[in-house]
Amino acid sequence: MAELTEAEPHVRRGTAYSPMSGTRLVGRQAEVAQVLDIVEEGRTEPRTLLLLGDAGTGKSRLLAAAVDHARDRGTLVLTSQGIEAESPQSFASLHQLLLPVLSGAAALPGHLRKALETAFGTAQDEGPPDSMLLRTAVLALLSEVSNRQRVLLALDDVQHFDRDSLDVCGFVMRRITAQDVSVLLTARGHTAPTGVPADLPTVLLGPLTEQAAAELLDAQPHAPTGRTRIELLRQAGGNPLAIIELCRAAGTGGLGVLPGSGLPRTERIQELYAARLRGLPETTRQLILYAAASQGEDLATIMAAAGAGSDLSAWAPAEEIGLVAVWDGQVLFRHPLVRTGAYHAAPAHLRQQIHRDLASALTTDPARRAWHLAAACVGHDETVAAALEDTAELAEKRGGFYAAGQALQRSAECSPAPADRARRYTKALRAAQNVGDPLWVRELFDKVTALTDDRDLLGMAACGAGMGMSLFGHQRQAFRILMSALEPHPPGNGMTVVALTSILAAVGYQSGLPDVRRPVEAVLDGVDTGNSETSYAELATSDSSDAVRAASLAGADPTRAPELLRRILRQPGAPEASADVAAMTRLLGLGGVAWYADESDLCVDAHRQGYAMLSAYGALGSAAPSLAAVAASLIDTGRWAEADEHLDKSAALAAVHKWRHLQIDVEALRATLRALRGETDDLPTDPAWTAVALEENRATHARLLRAAGTTAVLAGDFDGAFRHFRLLFGEDGTPLHYFLSPRSIADLAAAAQRTGREKDAARIVEVVRAAMGPQPTMRMTLLLHHAAALTGDPKDAEHHFRLATVNPAGDQWPLARAQARLHYAQWLRRRRRPLDARPLLATALESFTRLGATALAEEARVELRASGVATEPAKADPLAELTAQQREIVRLAARGLRNREIAEQLMLSPRTVSSHLYNVYPKLGVSSRNQLRGLFEDL
C-alpha cells in the first residue's frame, strides 16, 4: 500500500499523465518520473528497472502508475504478482504473466510450443521441459508480440516468485533489450532477491521526507491533530503504509495507546501482523511484547524484565521472518506497524504487568522507570506524577522539549490535586510551544483555563496559545488571547510579562497592524524584572531577558533598533562555551534586533548559532517567527544556496506543525529566489493568497506581492511589476507592512521609472523617508538614494546614484548594490557617457553572475556590449551551488587542514568530510585539494 492523495500537476510537461484516476504519490515525484520514463515510447536506453523498499513504501503504487500510463498509450501490459503460497509451484508466476498472450504460442515452431505447453502442464508429455528450449520459447513469444505492439512486463513482489519463473524472466530480461519491451519489477527489501539479475538498474524507496509525510497525513480523512499528530509521524518513521493505517486507527477513536504515544488501536493494524506473530514460539512472542512495550530500552533490560536470561536464540524465529533485528545490544522493529500490532494484541492486564516488570528492571534510569510506572497507572497517583515531572526537567536539560512536554502532560493527568494539574499542564504547554505544535498548545491551553484563575499560570499559558494562533494565521485572535492575560491586571511575575510581550511583538510583526504593536512599549516600560524569579529557563539570565526585551521593542518600533542593538553588543553575553537555553535565547533575541536594524550578516550569524542549539533540543518551535526573516536575509546577502537549504528545512517544519502562514512565506520566498535566478514559470499558486486572511497577515501579503513583482520584472512585464509593488503601499503612501514594504522601495522606483510613473513613486519615497526617522539604517539610506535617483529631480539623480553605489557598507547586500550600479550605468549611457558606465556594468555583471542571477546578468552584459565592450559569458561562482556546510569544509580543506582536523572542528565524522569533498570536486571543477586554494580570495 502506498501514499495516495489529491490531484497532482503533470509530472512532465507535454504529457497528460493521470495515473489512478488523477491521484498522486506524495513525496515520490522523482521516482514517478523515473518509472514513467522506462515505459516511454522511443527510449533507446535499457528499459528495465527494479523498485526496492520496505513494506508500505509505495512500490506497488508506483508500478500501478506505470501500468496505467502505459495502457493509456496503447501499450500491452503483462502483469504477474508474486504470491507466497504459490512460490513452491514451478512456473506459476510465469504462467500468470504470459496467460494473455499464450494463444500466440500456436505460431511458434513445434519444439518451442511444446516446451511452453509442457511447462504449464497442458502437454501430454509429463516430463520436465527442457530449460533452454523453454527460455527460448518465452523470448520468441514476447519478441513476436512486441513486433506488433509495445509491451510492458510488470512483475510485482518478485521475492515471492517461484525460482523457475525467475530463472526464465532473468534470461529474457538480459536478451530482450533490442525489442520494444519494458520491464518493471518490485521486491521487498534493500537488495535484489535471489534469482533476480544483480546488475539491474535499481531505485530504493526509503522513508518519506518529513514534509511529504505531513502532506500524506493531512490528506487522510479525519487526520489527527495536536500531540497525536506529531507522535503518529514519529511512530510511522516516514513509512506511507504506517501513516495511512495509524491515521485510520486514530480516526476510529480507539482508546488503546502505546506508552506516551497517544496512538489508538484498531483490529486492522493488529491483524496486519497477527498471523505472523501467532506462528512464533511462545517465548519469542513474549520477548517481542516486552520489546514493543519498551521505550528504547536496551536488549539486556528487555530480557531481564521478561525473565529470559541471556540466551539470544529465542529471538531467532522473529529475526528469520523479518519482524525484528537484534543488533548491537538493541531490538529494532523492521516495520513501525509490527510494534503497534504486537503491543495491542496483548490484553490490558498483561500490558500493565509488562510495564511494571520493565520499571522494576530500570533501577538506574529514573526517567524511563517513571514512564513505565505511568503506563501501568490507573487513575491518579501523586508519586507517579512527581516522578514524571522530575523526568521532564531532566529531559529539558538534556535537550528534549518534546519528551519534556509528553512527560509533563502525563504527569498532569496523574495528578490528584487540581492545582497541581493546572501547574503541570502549563509547564507542558510551554514545552509544546518550544516544540512548535500549535494544535497541542491549544489542547493544553483549554485544560489550563478550565482548571485555574491564577494570573501567572494563565499568562504562561497565553504565551503558548497566542503564538499557536499566530502560526495558524489568526493574528487578531492571538492578540485577544495575549491582551486578556495582560489586562486588566498583568501577571505578578515580571518575566511572565516579558514573555507575553515578546509573543505580542511577534504577532504585531506578522499582522503588520499598528493596534497590535502599540501596547508593547507601554507594557515593557511598566514592568519590573529586577527581583523576578522565573520558571522560564529561557529568561534566567539578565542578558537573555534584555535581548528578548530589545527584540520586542525593536519589533514595535524599528527606528529604535540600531540603538537597541548597540546596547546588546556592549553587554558581554554568555560565555562562549555556554550552550544552555538562556544563551540560545540571547542569540535569537540578538538576531531579531539585528534584523530590525538591517544588520543582515549579524542577523544570519546569530540565528544560525541559535538554530544549531535549538536543534540539539530536538525542536525549532522557538525559531518559527524568525525563519522567514532569516531566509530573506540569506537572499539579500547573496547566500542563495544556503537560502535554498534553509527554505527546505522551513517548509518541512511548517508542513509537520501546520504553521500556515510560514508555509506561504516559504513559497513566496522561493518564488522570489527563482525569479532572481531567471526562472519565471513557477509562482505561488492562487490558493496561497487565500490560505490565511491577508488583511491580518500583512507580512505574508508583502512577501507574496514582492514575489509577484520580482517575477513580473524578470519576465519583462513592468506594468504588472509596478501594480504589485504599488500595492505594498496605500493610496497616501502608508506602507502595507511597516517594516517589509519600505525594503522594496527601490524595486517600486525601478518599475515606476520603466513605466513613466515616477511622480507617483516619488511621493511614496518621501513618505517612506519620513517614516524612517532622522537616522535611517544604512540599508534604508542606500535604498532611498537608489529610489530617489530613479524617480526624483533629474538634476539630483547622479548625486543620489553615487551615494547609493559608493559606500562600501552596501557590499553586505550584493544584489541591491549590483542593481543600483546597473541602473546608474544605464542612466550614464542614456546621457552618452559610456566610458563612465563601463566599470559599473562590469562590476554589476560580475556580481549578478556570481549570485546566479542569470536574467540580470544578461541585461548587464547587453548594456556592456552596447557601451563598446566585447563580453564573454561569465561563469557563475561554483561555491554558490554548495551548501553552507560544504562551503565550510572546502574552505578548511583549502587552508590545508586534513579530514580529521576538519571533522573535529565542525563536529562531523572524517568519513562525512571525505564524502562531501568527493561529491563537490566535480562541481568545483577540481581534482585535488591543491586546486582548492584558487577558489578563495581570502583564506
pLDDT at 17: 32
Reference 333, options 622, 55, 727; nearest CA is 55
Q: Predicted confidence band at 607 (pLDDT cuts at 50, 70, 90)? A: very high
Q: What is the pLDDT of residues 660-714, one digit of tens each?
A: 889 899 999 999 999 999 886 666 666 666 778 899 999 999 999 999 999 999 8
- CA 749, 755, 757: angle at the middle one, nearest 5? 60
Q: Is the pLDDT of residue 844 over 60?
A: yes
| Amino acid at position 684, single letter | P
Q: What does the pLDDT look like over 794-818, one tens digit per residue? A: 999 999 999 999 888 898 999 999 9
Is-contact 675 635, C-beta < 8 A? Answer: no
* Burial bucket for residue 679 (CB in 10 Å: 0-12, 13-18, 19+): middle
Note the pTM of the prediction, 2 decimals. 0.74
User: 707, 736 in Cβ contact below 8 A?
Assistant: no
Contacts of 264 (CB under 8 A, 6+ apart): 249, 250, 252, 253, 254, 255, 256, 257
| Residues 296 and 331: beta-carbon distance below 8 Å | no
Instruction: Identify the pLDDT of residue 23.
Output: 43
Distances (CA, A) of 738 to 556, 620, 669: 10, 27, 19
pLDDT at position 622 over 60: yes
Cβ(366)–Cβ(359) under 8 Å? no
The helix (run of H) or strand (run of E) holding residue 151 is strand 151-156
CB of 69 closer than 8 Å to CB of 21: no
Nearest Cα residue to 467 out of 444, 494, 492: 444
H helices of 127-262, in order, are 131-148, 163-175, 210-218, 226-236, 240-251
**For residues 687 and 674, what is the distance between their CA atoms, to the nearest angstrom?**
19
pLDDT in tens, 463-480: 888 988 898 889 999 999
Cβ neighbours of 74 (radius 10 Å): 9
> Of 31-40, 142-151, 827-836, 928-937, where does mean pLDDT reach its minimum?
928-937
Q: How many CB atoms lie within 10 A of CB 595?
A: 28
- pLDDT tens digit sequence for 196-214: 887 788 888 888 888 888 8
Identity of the amino acid at 103? S
Res 564 pLDDT > 90: yes
The residues facing 45 across adjacent strands are: none
Flag whether pLDDT at 9 surpasses 50.
no
Three-state SS for 392-454 is: HHHHHHCCCHHHHHHHHHHHHHHCCCHHHHHHHHHHHHHHHHHHCCHHHHHHHHHHHHHHCCC
Sorted by sequence, the CB contacts under 8 Å of residue 142 that are 6+ apart come out as 101, 151, 153, 172, 176, 179, 181
Instruction: Give 235 or 875, the one with higher predicted confidence.
Output: 235
Query: What is the reported pLDDT for 871?
Result: 62
Cα 908 to Cα 305, 890, 893, 914, distances in angstroms? 37, 14, 14, 10
Rounded Cα–Cα distance for residues 283 and 621 (Å): 44
Average pLDDT over residues 264-269: 57
d(C-alpha 274, C-alpha 809), whole Å: 68
Q: According to the model, what pLDDT value does residue 74 have?
A: 87
The per-type count for the chain, helices as H runs and strands as E runs, is 44, 9
What pLDDT does 553 receive? 94
Instruction: State the virtual CA torsion across 266, 269, 275, 280 in degrees, nearest 10.
Output: -100
Asked whether residue 894 carries a pLDDT value surpassing 50, the answer given is yes
Q: Summarize pLDDT for 270-321 with one digit per residue, the tens.
A: 666 666 787 889 899 899 989 888 877 788 889 998 888 888 999 999 888 8
Q: Which of 56-60, 383-387, 909-913 has the highest mean pLDDT?
A: 383-387
Task: Please report the sign of the dihedral spanned by the C-alpha atoms of residue 54, residue 58, residue 60, residue 66.
Answer: negative
Closest CA to 611 of 632, 638, 592: 592
Closest CA to 872 of 834, 846, 835, 852: 846
* 596-599 own/partner pairs: CB under 8 Å, 24+ apart: 596/551, 596/554, 596/555, 596/558, 596/561, 596/739, 597/554, 597/558, 597/561, 597/562, 597/564, 597/565, 597/777, 598/561, 598/777, 598/778, 598/779, 598/780, 599/565
CA atoms of 284 and 289, how far apart (whole Å) = 9
Is the per-residue pLDDT at 883 higher than 80? no
Q: What is the mean pLDDT of residues 849-875?
A: 81
Q: What share of the chain is helix, strand, coil (3-state, %, to 5)?
A: 65, 5, 30
Q: By C-alpha distance, which of 426, 417, 425, 434 is closest to 456?
A: 426
> What's the average model confidence in pLDDT over 21-47?
71
Separation CA 581–CA 536 (nearest Å) = 10
Higher pLDDT, 920 or 505: 505
Average pLDDT, the chain: 83
CA distance 1 to 243: 11
End-to-end CA distance of the chain: 53
The Cα-based distances of 528 to 458, 500, 524, 531, 687 in angstroms read 19, 14, 8, 8, 45
Q: Which residues of 372-390 are buried (b: 16+ CB within 10 A; e: fewer)?
A: bbbbbbeeebeebbbbbbe
With left for phi above 0 and alpha for psi between -120 and 50, is residue 253 left, alpha or beta? left
- How many CB atoms within 10 Å of residue 370? 27
In this predicted structure, the answer to whether residue 146 has a pLDDT above a threshold of 50 is yes
Amino acid at 211: Q
The whole-number pLDDT of residue 7 equals 29
Are 591 and 606 spatial neighbours (Cβ–Cβ below 8 Å)?
yes
pLDDT of 798: 94
Q: What is the pLDDT of residue 10?
A: 32
- The better pLDDT of the pair 651, 86 is held by 651
Average pLDDT over residues 360-364: 86
Which pLDDT does position 207 carry in this prediction? Answer: 87
Q: Averaged over 32-38, what is the pLDDT?
A: 83
Residue 646 confidence (pLDDT) above 60: yes
Rounded-to-integer distance, Cα 188 and Cα 61, Å: 13
| Banded pLDDT at 875 (limits 50, 70, 90) | low
Give tens-digit pLDDT for 365-417: 887 888 888 888 888 889 888 888 888 877 766 657 777 888 888 899 999 99
pLDDT at 259: 46
pLDDT tens digits for range 322-351:
788 888 888 888 776 787 778 877 888 898
Which tops the pLDDT comparison, 178 or 333?
333
Residue 43: per-residue pLDDT: 57
The residues, ordered by sequence, that sit 6+ positions from 772 with a Cβ below 8 Å of its Cβ are 559, 742, 780, 784
Say whether 713 sits in a helix, a strand or coil: helix
Beta pairing, strands 24-25 & 4-5: antiparallel
Q: What percent of the chain has pLDDT over 90?
A: 30
- Please give the grid coordinates belonging to residue 656: 509537520
Sign of torsion over alpha carbons 369, 374, 378, 382 = positive
CA distance 288 to 309: 15
pLDDT, one tens digit per residue, over 758-800 is: 999 999 999 999 999 899 999 999 999 999 999 999 999 999 9
